[in-house]
Amino acid sequence: MQERLLEKFQELFGAQGEIRLYFAPGRVNMIGEHTDYNGGHVFPCALTIGTYGVVRKRTDDKLRFYSMNFEHLGIIESGLADLKPDPTADWTNYPKGVIWAFGEKGMKITEGMDLLLFGNIPNGSGLSSSASVEVLTGYILKDLYGCDVTNQDIALIGQYSENQFNGVNCGIMDQFAIAMGKKGHAIFLDTATLEYSYAPIELKDAKIVISCSNKKRGLGDSKYNERRAECEKALEELQQFVGIRSLGDLNEEEFEKYKSAIKDEDRVKRARHAVYENQRTIHAVEALKNNDVEKFGMLMNESHISLRDDYEVTGIELDTLAEEAWKVDGVIGSRMTGAGFGGCSVSIVKDDAVNRFIEQVGKAYEEKIGYAADFYVVEIGDGPVRLS
């Protein structure tokens, strides 16, 4: 793989100068969905699939981008003096956005680069290919240009660039999970304070299986921003009666006490999900610390039901993946993961049931939806790294 990427880079951009190779992972969130922008907890982990970047610094201000995932687009050129979103060159807006954001944070990049990317995250899967590109770019800028940033800074700059440059009002979870990934561990992150701890994922005789719906969706054109606005309005209404900074400050009992302050039934449902999902995430991490994987799985199932009924972000594809998974003997828990509206589900499946799970869920999904899902048995990996 690495040799093929380097050969392709030299074929496109020439062999002269110092060429460096980097990798940043994708991520999957085990539980805690749509809580990250509501001041709640999340529990994601980095994966061993992700985005590779081959790069060489230039002496002028030119940027030349090429993606092996979108080869039909060819080399896309722009310049450091003209960093603005380009609707005709969609994927390059992620690295350009990070370069722009570094400048906004006082680290102006004055020399361009040639950059080749290859991602083995399924496009539109909800495993954070965009955040992977953002963190990869930030890590490259840190290493190649000597920018004085930590991996946590890179996560925050990546979020800032997606919010301000790409116009997607995402929370911090995706970039944080990717930048701060640790092999064999998930990250228990309080998104309100950025306090975090690593929790080992020890699944004896079980595997994490990602089921990709193959329904493509983009965060910017989904109802993601609409859901966020609904929660912000519900928070404003609650704040008239209770002193909270975010929905994550409430537990279930407090929410039930004050929910009548919310003047719209849909907003009640959205806020209920945010509050209850945050508490589920706290309980799930406690269960894992107590080696109670069965309880963790039960909370995963409850998470999906809440995302389906209260937050309404699942859709027939993700509901089919989760509901068919629940029917398979040996599935400990299964839920949609990511923003929703397509993308993936994540399941914990006993080793001896993995093949049966893929066959049974895959058959039922294709019969109901009309096209196939893809399945990935994944491992938890580290954060970004320079490979050569």
Bridge partner list, 77 = 64
Q: How far is CA 11 from the centre of its chain?
A: 32
Under DSSP, the state recorded for 182 is: B
Catalytic: 249?
no
- Amino acid letter for position 18: E
Buried b (16+ CB within 10 A) or exposed e, 236-270: ebbeeeeeeebbbbbeeeebeebbebbeeeebbbb
User: Edge-to-edge, what's the strand order for the sheet holding 62-67?
Assistant: 76-79, 62-67, 113-119, 44-57, 20-29, 385-386
> Contact, 87 vs 103, CB < 8 A?
no
- Amino acid letter for position 79: G
Given 174, 249, 310, 319, the catalytic residue: 174
In 130-273, beta strands by DSSP E: 185-190, 195-200, 206-212
> Contact, 39 vs 280, CB < 8 A?
no
- Amino acid letter for position 362: G
Which residues form the catalytic set? 174
